[in-house]
């Protein structure tokens, strides 16, 4: 993805290697390491690290990929469905609509690539994130949660076509 989504507040675009230091500073070193390790996959065309930045400061990111899932159940039940991993918004700017805009950008990116669904895994106890996903039209899959105990997580799926989201009209620019 070469284009970018601009709003009066921030820009969402594909991350570059030079962004990782800023991402580490705003989200934490562990997250910086995660996204740095996704750069070769992005370079190989296997996914996109979507980055939201306010001014010159990165404030959020998510990895969008069309690689097969690691989990056998997900490969079987959601075959060919792109997956979102590791969505993270800087703590001090949460609940300002950045997560929603990132998801909307992912939806637009995937829609333009011809995909009709997208999915993500969410910890069962992450009720805030689940509330956001459900509000945007994601539904829990009709299968057992994965993982065990406190590491249990569910898959949530969004039908890209006809998805409920308010974000696209607020994009003021996109350049492919």
Ligand X SMILES: CC(C)(COP(=O)(O)OP(=O)(O)OC[C@H]1O[C@@H](n2cnc3c(N)ncnc32)[C@H](O)[C@@H]1OP(=O)(O)O)[C@@H](O)C(=O)NCCC(=O)NCCS
When asked if residue 88 is in the footprint of ligand X (CB under 6 A), the reply is: yes
Complete DSSP assignment for 73-138: HHHHHTTT--EEEEEEE-GGGTTSSHHHHHHHHHHHHHHHTT--EEEEEEETT-HHHHHHHHHTT-
Nearest to 65 by CA among 87, 48, 89, 50: 48
Q: Could you report how far apart the first and last alpha carbons of the chain are, in Å? A: 7
When asked if residue 97 is in the footprint of ligand X (CB under 6 A), the reply is: yes
Q: Site mask, ligand X, residues 102-141, x = CB under 6 A?
A: ------------------x-x---x-xx-xx--x------
Helix, strand counts (H, E) of the chain: 5, 9
Stretch that binds ligand X, among 2-10, 68-76, 86-94, 165-173 (CB under 6 A): 86-94
Nearer to ligand X, 91 or 176 (CB): 91
Residue of the chain from 57, 96, 116, 117 that contacts ligand X (CB under 6 A): 96
When asked if residue 47 is in the footprint of ligand X (CB under 6 A), the reply is: no
Chain contacts with ligand X (rule: CB under 6 A): 87-89, 94-100, 120, 122, 126, 128-129, 131-132, 135
């Amino acid at each position: 993805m070469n284009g970018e989504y601009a709003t009066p507040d921030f820009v969402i675009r594909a991350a570059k290697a030079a962004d990782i230091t800023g991402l580490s500073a705003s989200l934490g070193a562990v997250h910086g390491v995660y996204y740095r390790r996704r750069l070769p996959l992005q370079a190989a065309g296997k996914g996109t690290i979507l980055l939201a930045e306010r001014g010159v400061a990165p404030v959020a990111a998510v990895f969008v990929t069309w690689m097969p899932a690691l989990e056998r159940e997900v490969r079987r039940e959601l075959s060919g469905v792109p997956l979102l991993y590791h969505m993270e918004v800087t703590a001090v700017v949460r609940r300002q609509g950045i997560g929603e805009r990132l998801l909307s950008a992912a939806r637009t990116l995937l829609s333009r690539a011809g995909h009709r669904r997208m999915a993500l895994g969410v910890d069962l106890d992450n009720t805030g994130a689940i509330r956001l996903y459900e509000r945007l039209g994601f539904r829990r899959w009709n299968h057992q949660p994965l993982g065990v105990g406190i590491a249990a997580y569910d898959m949530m799926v969004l039908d890209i076509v006809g998805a409920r989201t308010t974000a696209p009209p607020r994009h003021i620019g996109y350049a492919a």
